[in-house]
Structure 1
């Protein structure tokens, strides 16, 4: 018997014969629609989330593999062995477990005699696991816990090189990623481990705190965010500008006002879309990903913006992300359609593993709620701090970005000379060039995101302070005086590459501004105009630095 709607349609159109059915596709239940996935399931969402997280892990471990030896290795600028020894001596009256809980790292369990090899091993293991997850989309709790533990081991011994907000953000995101997966199974669609709503809301709570915290710190921080003038300066003074930043800096004033207003809208209002139903949640995810993509093309903020996209993916269900996957018999999309039908058509039988998993997810929700208390109090506080972790495992943290904007850009330029006397009037001082930070005014700004040069980033911070606050910069000067190969691998140009090492190295302080398009400097091929402010640190010789190194337990540079 025809349904009432069908009978009405036939009376209106005069069509009384049944429409021909499409031939069944082999291997597929004809009752399942081949075109549309149902809303409310997250099988494909999990695959996208895991691949995106694995990509960020891969970049982070790649940076670690290329730079850890020079920064925290045996002869690094801030050797982690010194940090571990100091920590052990300070807590010598504590048990091994108490020391580990203060600074969780696998390095406590390793031999420190060859720290370079140990650091390389951790980075290579992380690269291998993240590559597997990125390529296959398969993961289990053990693999994701391994990635989290490996990276936490590096962050906790990484000194100032790993002190940025995105390190804690990656660890919190990675911790949630552990609970996306089955315990043992390596399957892209583990049938008995559906994605928990608690885990999804963990990701959504993360992106809410990231964006809302960033918005609040701006409103409470620099007045230029309230005056809508911050973007007049941001592109020129951000840590590591890229080529597009040059042109965006010279945009009309009204465009900068629009950018600032849009930032407030995205960070202060859009996060609440998460709680307004499925459609609003999808709009939230799309706007946040678009916002991060704009930030990526306008600056080199490491893998921060790529990482911030990851929790936004939890806003999309299978029906939304289905377009990313091919259709066809046996495809992932086809299998999800079958699973959706089975879930709708039958109540799953309770299994011991499912009960344990549900208990684990509930425990995760309670843990996140408990650890969020100080984070929420910080968000509500008029003296809000940003990019802070409240526990050594970095599980729930507070975030924020660019609460204040520098109005002028200053740079520390390291220079060397072969002159016997640093004060000789005929001494020729030559600049060392870093990989990405501004130096030679004629050099085009670099484009490296999501990769990250940690030394270049710290040089930006050092320019706001004195060398007494950044003693590692004197260690770097000593290594340049010895033409240390490891330290020089962090730089783009060594003016003494084909000559003996310099006799003196000094730090000069300069003010940098973008050249004006069409102006004299721009026509000369200069991206920057710089003016000397004064000395950052005086000329130093290797002999003068040796006592300084001994006091800090740093290896003495050996001149070539």
Structure 2
């Protein structure tokens, strides 16, 4: 099934993993190489990564949606984020003053705290602690996939061995003893000639550092630009990228609900339309919001994007409808429920557009078991059948799915 572009975290995962290649020496398989500690160039490359991630996110907010400047964005975020979790249901009902504090705290973390990286060891450690705390808060209050966990990784580079020593065993032959031995060897090496191989490694690290600096030029220019773009790469290697998140916040949550019917005539007022339920995204108003992070249901995320755009902007959703019409097992495995299981595929599939709002905890709807309140906006795309989609799919070189023989 044809889907949209890769989201931000995949380019971030690529860059984070690429830097990880250079943390280890090239000519040893030891778990803890004693004579070749990670280059400070690589450590600073990770710090540069977290600096770009956070500052880019902060700047795109200040330059983007007015609600970030008015300190009101958190009034909407918990309800309208891609895949809310149960905590978000209650956080949404926090007092106005608390939401303003949250927004201000977000600005401090993303716009001010990153500069602590360059102000000495203690403030660098403080930066790492604050960024990890911030990511943990985001993990608790939302299902942002593995993005927050991934963002913690470069924050670890803010800590040195001394600050992390308490995490290791104090046994004589334990990891802590090996780390202390590495530190002693490093101190001794500063007063003695280096092996030939270390000069080669140092040359490679310096060359890599120069490459990172060169590829960072357009990234810095973008950060300083009033026309800043987010989640973009300026080089074919895609190893030094620009990042940013939630530059604008949707004020209302809309959902595309996919429905199918076995009726011969989709316009028959007596036709029974049954809904497909996704694994995590809102659908059934009585279903409790899911808790899935750090796992990722990409289809659910793409449905969130599609809901505030049109199906013409998201042609993949028509391909999805075709797969449902054909009772495609791979696609159905991405769904939570198939209302036509054992009955053959539907004859028609349509998309309906709904506005969703959290019910009020303790209110009438919540007492009735409803986590959401929804109201129909109108059709998202009209009823479709496989025969009618033949020309559409052929024009895009998408194979026409074979219709199940169970359908009569």
**Aligned partner of 1:407 among 232, 236, 251:** 251
Q: Residue 524 of structure 1 corresponds to which residue in structure 2?
A: 368
Q: Residue 240 of structure 2 corresponds to which residue in structure 1?
A: 396
Matched, 1:302 2:145: yes
Unaligned ranges ≥5, structure 1 = 1-76, 79-158
Contact 1:192 1:354 survives alignment (8 Å): no
Larger radius of gyration: 1
User: TM-score, structure 2 length as denominator?
Assistant: 0.97
**Aligned partner of 2:70 among 227, 230, 250:** 227
Unaligned ranges ≥5, structure 2 = none
> Deviation per CA, 1:10-67, whole angstroms, max 9, x where unpaired?
xxxxxxxxxxxxxxxxxxxxxxxxxxxxxxxxxxxxxxxxxxxxxxxxxxxxxxxxxx
Aligned-pair CA distance for 1:345: 4.4
3-state SS in 1 of match to 2:383: strand
3-state SS in 1 of match to 2:213: helix
How far, CA to CA, are the matches of 2:138 and 2:112 in structure 1?
18
Q: Residue 43 of structure 2 corresponds to which residue in structure 1?
A: 200
Aligned-pair CA distance for 1:335: 1.6
> Deviation per CA, 1:205-233, whole angstroms, max 9, x where unpaired?
11011101111111111110010000000
Aligned positions of 1:82-161 closer than 5 A: 160=4
**Aligned partner of 2:285 among 427, 430, 441:** 441
Runs of 4+ in 1 over 6 A off after TM superposition: none
Choose between structure 1 and 2 for higher RCO, CA contacts under 8 A separated by at least 6 residues. Answer: 2
Matched, 1:172 2:15: yes
Q: Residue 546 of structure 1 corresponds to which residue in structure 2?
A: 390
Matched, 1:246 2:89: yes
How far, CA to CA, are the matches of 1:266 and 1:372 in structure 2?
22
- RMSD after superposition: 1.1
**Aligned partner of 1:209 among 52, 64, 73:** 52
Aligned-pair CA distance for 1:550: 1.6
3-state SS in 1 of match to 2:312: helix
User: TM-score, structure 1 length as denominator?
Assistant: 0.71
Task: Tell me: CA distance 1:342–1:193, structure 2 relative to 1, closer, same or farther (3 Å).
Answer: closer
Count of residues paired in the alignment: 403
How far, CA to CA, are the matches of 2:178 and 2:320 in structure 1?
56
How far, CA to CA, are the matches of 2:346 and 2:133 in structure 1?
48
Task: Tell me: CA distance 1:487–1:345, structure 2 relative to 1, closer, same or farther (3 Å).
Answer: closer
3-state SS in 2 of match to 1:509: strand
Task: Tell me: CA distance 1:181–1:345, structure 2 relative to 1, closer, same or farther (3 Å).
Answer: closer
Matched, 1:455 2:302: no
**By percentage of residues, which structure has more helix?**
1
> Deviation per CA, 1:331-382, whole angstroms, max 9, x where unpaired?
1111222232343345343212101100011001110110000000000000
3-state SS in 2 of match to 1:535: strand
Aligned-pair CA distance for 1:425: 1.0
How far, CA to CA, are the matches of 2:292 and 2:394 in structure 1?
36
How far, CA to CA, are the matches of 1:201 and 1:345 in structure 2?
23
